[in-house]
Structure 1
Amino acid sequence: MATPTPYAQELQLASLAVQRAALLTEQLLLAVDKGALDKSDDSPVTIADFAAQASIIAAIHHVFPNDDIVGEEDATALRSNPTLLERTWDLATSIHLDDPSSEALLHTPTTRDELLDLIDLGAKGACTPTSRTWTLDPVDGTATFIRGEQYAVCLSLVENGIQKIGVIGCPNLMASGPVAEDRVDRDGHGQMLSAVVGQGVTIRPLGTGALLPGRALDQVPQIEDTALVKFIDTRAAKTQDLEAHGRVAAELGCAWPNPVDLWSAQMRYVAIAVQGGCNAFVKLPLSEDYRSKIWDHAGGMLIVQELGVRVTDLEGKPVDCALGRTLAGCHGMVVGPASVHGRILEAVRKVRGL
């Protein structure tokens, strides 16, 4: 008898949960009024965020009730707005996979109170050095989601601070070619990337039922000439020192700016993984106190690491995923092919005056 593949059950459940949530977000894109309101950080949030978080947590918590869950959203707005709650409830409970055996592996909230409690379950979770924790971002890139551009539905499993599984659903991602905000899959449901530590990365089309066949992604090419570094960035970001990013590129002698520019943090990892016109990025925060949220990076980091990319903070230290709801020990990021990561890091140090 063949030995079961490690994390096979978790991977199947995570992939189906992400696929169903991705379909849910697509359904909302058909609506003209997406039920948006402003978060405290002024980024838009829609009922898709709430409904997708409830849908994913329902599936995970039903099968693994003892696991912790870290989700981006909480249900405060829904508890105070009956109309928004009703629209979220309708969306979260109306989308099902059209393959009965796949849908049977998932769970759907049965009451509005359950839906609210599931969302808040994610809001209360945190990664610790001894926890088994799922992290999720129901819609990473909500601003571009609203515009019909690139966004991601993200789920990862972190055990004792170590990433074990990463699943990213990209409903607007084309099957091949460069990745761009306005280069959108109009004929299908996009693509899903998944990884288990030590097992490589699989990409498959997102579907409406059972998981579709996938293929293994190739390793990211290991380059020696730093002129071949192709940075991805987010020029609309307000937390990063873009002028410093340009000086890092100048130190390396590589082109700047690179045409690949994506708002979603997780989509930047995806673009590197699919070799969509970029192979690296740096993140030099404007503030020394800035720390990234764990759901913006967990899972995506694992996917590129499985393909030969190194991910560290600005000091060259590995990213610690066991410090709560943020990457509290990680100031900034350096992401690039292992063969040139050290030279990118050295360029960053020069720009920082170290």
Structure 2
Amino acid sequence: MNNQHLRVKAIAAEAGQIALRHFRDASALEVDSKGPLDLVTAADREVEGFICAELSRAFPQDGIFGEEGSTIKGTSGRTWVIDPIDGTFNFVRGSQHWGVSIGLFEQGRPVFGVVNAPACGEIFAGGNDLPAELNGKPLQPLPAFRRDHAAIGIGIHPKIPADRGIAIFNEVIADLKLAYRVTGSSVTSLIDIAKGSVDGYVGLGIPSWDILGMLPCLEQLGVRTTIDWQKSGLDSDLAFACGSGAMLDVLGRMTQLR
């Protein structure tokens, strides 16, 4: 493992500890709203500030793009995409389904990422020259896809109109006849794919920072997405599916993702 991987994993680990301290005292946490059911806390801002400072120190030529407004252009052509706490609503409500996400975007695609789910004691990493791992140990290959008990995660951003969100569930349940899971956190749903709990994920209105940390790890496990990064920039709201080739063959029929 090269020094870059080690450094980013160390940053994610420390960032997770900062977030965890706030999580354990959530009743005293300052909570603001960016929109309906879209929360931001002092923990989000502190964690993003820490990650931004550490990445700038470690990789001064690189750009940074963070959920809470951190933006550095950079000169290297590489951009670190940060979600300090994906699943802030869960975080505020005391659920463990949240994570610190750091992903590297280079040459038009995600190439490396680290996700720390500190409330669960799990750090995932993977990407170029780094096989998918959990807490430093290789992740097991994904189970073979079985259509008769396939399950997917679903993520719908609060800004998506209710009728379109309902249409997604209608397609999954009535048309595709799939089991589904809703965690309230894109990064947690992607973790569920890595652990074999679900076979895929569909997201509607999802920002890039929610998924950039986990996608390179999943790619190492053979998971693909329908995202065309040449057409969808880092500031796009994404409508996409991800999973194995067999899962994408099933999800490709969903009209709401076209």
Matches within 5 A, 1:57-76: 57-74=52-69
Alpha-carbon distance between aligned partners in 2 of 1:307 and 1:273, rounded to the nearest angstrom: 8
Alpha-carbon distance between aligned partners in 2 of 1:131 and 1:265, rounded to the nearest angstrom: 26
Q: Is 1:280–1:335's contact at 8 Å kept on the other side of the alignment?
A: yes
1:172-209 CA deviation, whole Å, 9 max, x = no partner? 22xxxxxxxxxxxxxxxx111001235321101xxxxx
Task: Report the CA distance between 1:252 and its aligned residue.
Answer: 3.2
Alpha-carbon distance between aligned partners in 2 of 1:311 and 1:333, rounded to the nearest angstrom: 7
Alpha-carbon distance between aligned partners in 2 of 1:42 and 1:263, rounded to the nearest angstrom: 11
1:20 aligns with 2:17: no
1:261 to 167, 173, 182: 182
1:115 maps to what in 2? none
Using a 3 Å threshold, how does the CA distance of structure 1 residues 322 and 67 change in structure 2: closer, same or farther? farther
1:244 aligns with 2:151: no
Q: Is 1:309–1:338's contact at 8 Å kept on the other side of the alignment?
A: yes
Q: Is 1:134–1:157's contact at 8 Å kept on the other side of the alignment?
A: yes
2:195 maps to what in 1? 274
* TM-score, scaled to structure 1: 0.65
Which runs of 5 or more residues in structure 2 are unaligned?
A: none
Using a 3 Å threshold, how does the CA distance of structure 1 residues 64 and 30 change in structure 2: closer, same or farther? same
Task: Report the CA distance between 1:145 and its aligned residue.
Answer: 0.5
Rg comparison, structure with higher value = 1
1:197 aligns with 2:104: no
Q: Give the 3-state SS of the residue equivalent to 1:343 in structure 2.
A: helix
Task: Report the CA distance between 1:147 and its aligned residue.
Answer: 1.6
Q: Structure 2: which amino acid aligns with 1:269? A: L
2:233 maps to what in 1? 323
Matches within 5 A, 1:76-87: none
Alpha-carbon distance between aligned partners in 2 of 1:43 and 1:17, rounded to the nearest angstrom: 26
Q: Is 1:13–1:59's contact at 8 Å kept on the other side of the alignment?
A: no
Alpha-carbon distance between aligned partners in 2 of 1:127 and 1:271, rounded to the nearest angstrom: 33
Indicate the larger mover: 49-58 or 23-32: 23-32
Identity %, equivalent residues: 22
1:115-171 CA deviation, whole Å, 9 max, x = no partner? xxxxxxx2x34699x820001000111110012211110001111222121100002
Alpha-carbon distance between aligned partners in 2 of 1:59 and 1:144, rounded to the nearest angstrom: 26
Q: Structure 2: which amino acid aligns with 1:299? A: G
Aligned-residue CA RMSD (Å): 2.6
Instruction: Report the number of matched residues.
Output: 253
1:134 aligns with 2:80: yes
Task: Report the CA distance between 1:250 and its aligned residue.
Answer: 3.5
Q: Structure 2: which amino acid aligns with 1:166? A: G
Q: Structure 2: which amino acid aligns with 1:264? A: S
Q: Is 1:312–1:319's contact at 8 Å kept on the other side of the alignment?
A: no
1:25-61 CA deviation, whole Å, 9 max, x = no partner? 1111232310112225552211111110111111110
Matches within 5 A, 1:35-184: 35-40=30-35, 43-74=38-69, 122=70, 124-125=71-72, 131-149=77-95, 150-173=97-120
Task: Report the CA distance between 1:344 and its aligned residue.
Answer: 2.1
Task: Report the CA distance between 1:254 and its aligned residue.
Answer: 3.0
Could you say which structure has the higher strand fraction? 2
Matches within 5 A, 1:202-217: 202-204=133-135, 214-217=136-139
Q: Is 1:154–1:168's contact at 8 Å kept on the other side of the alignment?
A: yes
Alpha-carbon distance between aligned partners in 1 of 2:115 and 2:236, rounded to the nearest angstrom: 19
* TM-score, scaled to structure 2: 0.87
Q: Give the 3-state SS of the residue equivalent to 1:233 in structure 2.
A: strand
Alpha-carbon distance between aligned partners in 1 of 2:175 and 2:37, rounded to the nearest angstrom: 35
Q: Structure 2: which amino acid aligns with 1:215? A: K
Q: Is 1:334–1:341's contact at 8 Å kept on the other side of the alignment?
A: yes
Q: Is 1:126–1:324's contact at 8 Å kept on the other side of the alignment?
A: no
Q: Structure 1: which amino acid aligns with 2:189? A: R
Alpha-carbon distance between aligned partners in 2 of 1:249 and 1:308, rounded to the nearest angstrom: 25
Q: Give the 3-state SS of the residue equivalent to 1:305 in structure 2.
A: helix
Q: Is 1:193–1:201's contact at 8 Å kept on the other side of the alignment?
A: yes
Q: Structure 2: which amino acid aligns with 1:228? A: H
Alpha-carbon distance between aligned partners in 2 of 1:59 and 1:335, rounded to the nearest angstrom: 31
Task: Report the CA distance between 1:68 and its aligned residue.
Answer: 0.3
1:228 aligns with 2:131: no
Using a 3 Å threshold, how does the CA distance of structure 1 residues 140 and 320 change in structure 2: closer, same or farther? farther
